[in-house]
Amino acid sequence: MIQEAVPRKCSRTLVVGLDGGSLSLMQQWASEGLLPTFERLMRDGHACPLRSTVNFHSASAWSTFATGVSPATHGVYHFVNRVPGQYAATAIHSEHIQSPTLWELLTARDVPLLALNVPMTYPVKPVSGTQVAGWLAPTIHSKGATYPAEVAEQISKEFGRYPMFPDGRRFVLSGHYEAAARRLKASLETKLRVAEHYLRNTDWAFAVVVLPETDAAQHWFWHFIDSKSPEHSDDLRRRWGNPIRDAYVAVDQWLGRQLDLLDGDVQLLVMSDHGAALQSRGELYLRELLIKAGVLTPRVCIAKAACEAAMGAMDQLPHGWRHRFARMAPPSVSGSMLGKKAIGDNVWRRTKAFASATWDPWINLQGREPQGVVESKDYDEICECLKTLLASAEDVVSGRPAVAKVTQTRKHLQGKHIDQIPDLAVQWTDQFAIEGLTARVNGKRVTATRAEGRRATSFVTGAHTPEGVLIALGDRFDGGLVCAEPGIVDIAPTVLELLGLPVPLWMEGRSLLGDKAKPSPRQRRRKMLDLPRIARQPPHVLRVAE
């Protein structure tokens, strides 16, 4: 007798993504009665921290959310990626993701979906539903910003201007906090109105709505709420209010109106790609620390100063204009600017490791780098030396430890795109602002006090942390979550199981609904052709500015 397959349970699934959402802030303001919807969700559902990717960066984390694999597999680590085999950098977009995404998997099975504002989706591809790209799109009317294309005109006609990003950092840079907060509020309100319209008026089995305004608010206004920030002043909130709290309150009120969607078989996941904390700015001193330690030899370069000046001017431009300028600039110009910012100009034959305010340390490895000097047999030793150097790093003013954790990435990640990832991932302290670094090298102290890229981060007082938030509510979660420490890599397989679809064995995450054995890397490699009908195109050149 042939046994019939047990039918899979299928549940409509809604994911609400708060970019940079902080569990501690939610708990604090919920306890004060300011977030009644989140208080209810945390009380009736399951709330816990959500592990981000190894570098807890938005580009890598949202790509992992969409694919269920690590950056070493999907190939995206930052908004600026290394060009393989070169000391060069390139701005990335959706086609740099080298693993099938949820949108592709669901479209291949004709599952109706709705995806709004998810980072790393521009340019969008045809999907079985409606999609509005994330903020890497210059404007909603840009080619590839929506699918179908007419969605852009529909949104503009119904709701007016649709900001892809709040576009307030140029006002923060000049101290015009009221203007920045006003743009933040308007951007969030528009996105919430559009999301509510499409959630209620379109057919979907899976919907995801991401709100970048929470992250922007924390980057721009963290010094409003954290007395440890050197920019903090009690007068700030008296004069300008609390834009971070206001963003959470707006989302809370909107989410409360959507809870009637759960009257059927809808499962709700509220999640974030990483958490939020004080920006210590330790990365600004990293390059000089490597120079003082004798492992990096810089080349005196006037072009780098010119690059800094040019990018400083771009910071003053509106979001859409920056994108237009990047598209107009010749590839040699835009590529040179990104390379100078992310890599620097170094004397490679005298450089064992390199880093910048953009990227964590890379080893100048023979066979991988064009002018590598470190032999493979010395690789682990150099990594350990750098870990020891960073572990000894202290703030030059207070003498307090500056680094919370250093991870040797290749001991924790596997994947064919591992060479896109720096060799070390540094987690700086979030307990105070660093004024410079001092560390031990061969029994001696070296000091780094010249901040690199201060222009690019002078307006940022909030930073990322490795743990975001996850709240799960719905009858499918009544038994709790399988994993005590879930990661963002687990969201895609969980969504597939909620929708009654098989989880591909190549996914590195696991569903949080069932206690199933996680496949080995060997099994995942054997199953990479599970979905041959999904044709992946090689990345094409698309220059965008962060």
Span 89-131, pLDDT tens digits: 999 999 999 999 999 999 999 999 999 999 999 999 999 999 9
Closest Cα to residue 115, out of 147, 70, 150?
Answer: 147
Q: What is the pLDDT of residue 529?
A: 37
In which residue ranges of the chain is pLDDT below 50? 1-6, 319, 321-322, 325, 332, 455-456, 515-546
Evaluate whether 338 touches 401 at the Cβ level (below 8 Å): no
What is the domain count for the chain?
2
What pLDDT was estimated at residue 265? 75
Q: Are residues 23 and 123 in the same domain?
A: yes
* Same structural domain, 239 and 357: no
pLDDT of residue 305: 55
Same domain, 440 and 509: no
Q: Are residues 381 and 399 in the same domain?
A: yes
133 & 248 share domain = yes
Residues 367 and 489 in one domain: no
Asked whether residue 454 falls in the same domain as residue 472, the answer is no
Whether 404 is covered by a domain: the verdict is yes
pLDDT computed for residue 260 by the predictor: 78
Q: In this predicted structure, what is the pLDDT of residue 169?
A: 82
Question: Is position 512 within any domain?
Answer: yes
- My answer on whether 18 and 118 are in the same domain is yes
**CATH number, position 519:** 3.40.720
φ/ψ region of 467 (left if φ > 0, alpha if ψ in -120 to 50, else beta) reads beta
Predicted TM-score (pTM) of this structure? 0.89
Bridge partners, 528 (sequence order) = none
Chain length of the chain = 546
* Per-residue 3-state assignment (H helix, E strand, C coil) for 468-500: EEEEEECHHHCCCCCCCCCEHHHHHHHHHHHCC
CA distance 39 to 35: 6
Question: For position 538, what pLDDT does the model report?
Answer: 37
Residue 116 tokens, joined:
């709004």
Please give the angle made by the CA atoms of 230, 236 and 237, to the nearest 5 degrees: 125
Residue 398, domain extent: 282-298+346-459
Whether residue 117 is found in the same domain as residue 234: yes
Distance CA 437, CA 283 (A): 10
User: Do 454 and 473 belong together in one domain?
Assistant: no
